[in-house]
Amino acid sequence: FGGTEAGSEPSFFPSLPPLHFGHPEIHLRNGIMNASRLANDAEPDAEKAFFVADLSQVYRQHLRWVACLPEITPFYAVKCNPDPYVLRLLASLGAGFDCASNGEISQVLSIGGIDPSRIIFANPCKANSFIRNACKMGVDAMTFDNMDELHKVARTHPRAKLVVRILTDDTKSLCQLGLKYGAPLVTVPGLLAKAKELHLDVIGVSFHVGSGCYDPSVYSDAIARARSVFDMAKEAGFSFTLLDVGGGFEDALFEQAASVLTDAIHQHFPDRTNIKVIAEPGRFYVSKAFSLAANIIARRAPFSDSTTINENATLSDHPSVMYYINDGVYGAFNCILFDHQVAHPYVLSMNGSFHVPSSEPVCLSSVWGPTCDSIDCVSPKTNLPAGLRVGDWLGFDNMGAYTVCAASQFNGFEVSKVVYTLGGGVTAAEVRNNLLAFAAETRQ
Ligand code: PLP
């Protein structure tokens, strides 16, 4: 692993778990070895599933962001993964935060050292009490997409800085948010006129092309729509200063999306002297940073341990072995149901070894979560080594976005804990220095 040794740091933030350094793979293995020690001592729940979070990966994503979108300030979408270290790291890097609720606003402000102007309350349909609380906390920027919201804001937070969320094409995205939010362009003049009548300040426009956007060209059309809203605003007597391009950035398509976005902004907003451009990325920052290790707690197989795998069964397209692991769709893998993800298990350890011989035959298998519900299927069909047994460990990568944040304790299973690493290489030192400086600044 690049020669990086594992070790740990005294925590910069006493209230948080310790930070480790060394490649995340080392910490997946350390966690597994630790679990087997606990199992030998007959500790209950010794084989618990756990995440390894590599904060240096979050940092590398930020470097990518700054390189490709230097003019756009990211306001990280807290809902995607409100992990305390991720929030502190992004705060130390100067990011803002997209909060959807009172709870998220409180979490961000409780970190300390974050001015409320670094928060946008990006939920167009808010409870009155939440708007009132935002006012009390000094959070002024908030989105809206309907008349009722304007009346609510006029009553509860009359000095709010409103941002009109418009509808854009999200048909190419994993999660289509337009079904629920976004004002069609034809309704915008009416909304702006009502805002004027209520003496409210509307400062800009936002959109969201859908979470997990697979067609970066839609950003171009969305920017053209935002431009027309800037023009409508001028007509209505507002002078817009904020353009919020939302989230949806997919890791593999990021550079392409950034290029489409930059070209469109340059074309439609050639003069950006008084315009601040922000975005609300979520999954882009955290998806790759978290891996999950889960233990095989049970197995149902038609063959006894001593029988060699029957050729026909191996080749059939029906999984012949069922593995049950200790995290599932009611836990970290809720992303399968809510975020339309597909889990790709790989072997972390087998028969006490971290090495799987290449000669090991594979077998079509299915992987299930631990609850008693049959919907709790992690992978309906996957090839896994035929020799996998109870006690072996499976790994899952790209587990940082919309996973741990929505995990439940259904059936009494705990939400899997996170082990933190700064990763290996040069960026680890940079992450460490940023966190250290932030901890000193906020005296945590
Ligand atoms: N902003 C808003 C308003 C959202 O609803 C979401 C996701 O649902 C995001 C940002 C983050 O989107 P993504 O994680 O795809 O970047």
pLDDT in tens, 290-301: 999 999 999 999
pLDDT band at 302 (very low <50, low <70, confident <90, very high): confident
Q: How many domains does the chain have?
A: 2
What pLDDT is stored for residue 21 in this prediction? 87
Residues 300 and 272 occupy one common structural domain: no
Q: Pick from 256, 286, 316: which residue ends a domain?
A: 286
Residue 377 falls inside a structural domain = yes
Number of H helices, E strands in the chain: 13, 20
Which residue's alpha carbon is at the smallest distance from atom 12 of ligand 1? 247
**What's the CA-to-centroid distance between 62 and ligand 1, angstroms?**
17
Residues 167 and 107 occupy one common structural domain: yes
Q: Pick from 270, 286, 302: which residue ends a domain?
A: 286
Of all atoms in ligand 1, which is nearest to the CA of residue 281? 16
Residue 444 falls inside a structural domain = no
Residues 275 and 221 occupy one common structural domain: yes
**What's the CA-to-centroid distance between 77 and ligand 1, angstroms?**
6
- pLDDT greater than 50 at residue 314: no
**What's the CA-to-centroid distance between 280 and ligand 1, angstroms?**
6
- For residues 121 and 143, give the distance between their C-alpha atoms in angstroms, rounded to a whole number: 7
pLDDT in tens, 407-439: 999 999 999 999 999 987 788 889 999 999 999
pTM for the model stands at 0.94
Q: What is the DSSP letter of 350?
A: B
Q: In percent, how much of the chain has pLDDT > 90?
A: 82
From 69, 79, 253, give the residue whose CB has the most ligand 1 atoms within 8 Å, as the site to mutate: 79
ipTM of the complex: 0.99
- pLDDT greater than 50 at residue 2: no
Residue 30 falls inside a structural domain = yes
List Cβ neighbours of 2 (8 Å cut-off, separation of 6 or more): 23, 424, 425
| C-beta 282 within 6 A of ligand 1 | yes
Cβ neighbours of 161 (radius 10 Å)? 18
**Mean pLDDT over all residues of the chain?**
93
Would you call 213 a catalytic residue per the annotation?
no
| C-beta 80 within 6 A of ligand 1 | yes
Q: What is the CA radius of gyration of the chain?
A: 24
Q: What is the CATH number of the domain that holds 116?
A: 3.20.20.10
pLDDT band at 307 (very low <50, low <70, confident <90, very high): very low
Residue 87 falls inside a structural domain = yes
Residue 202 falls inside a structural domain = yes
pLDDT in tens, 128-174: 999 999 999 999 999 999 999 999 999 999 999 999 999 999 998 88
Q: What is the DSSP letter of 407?
A: -
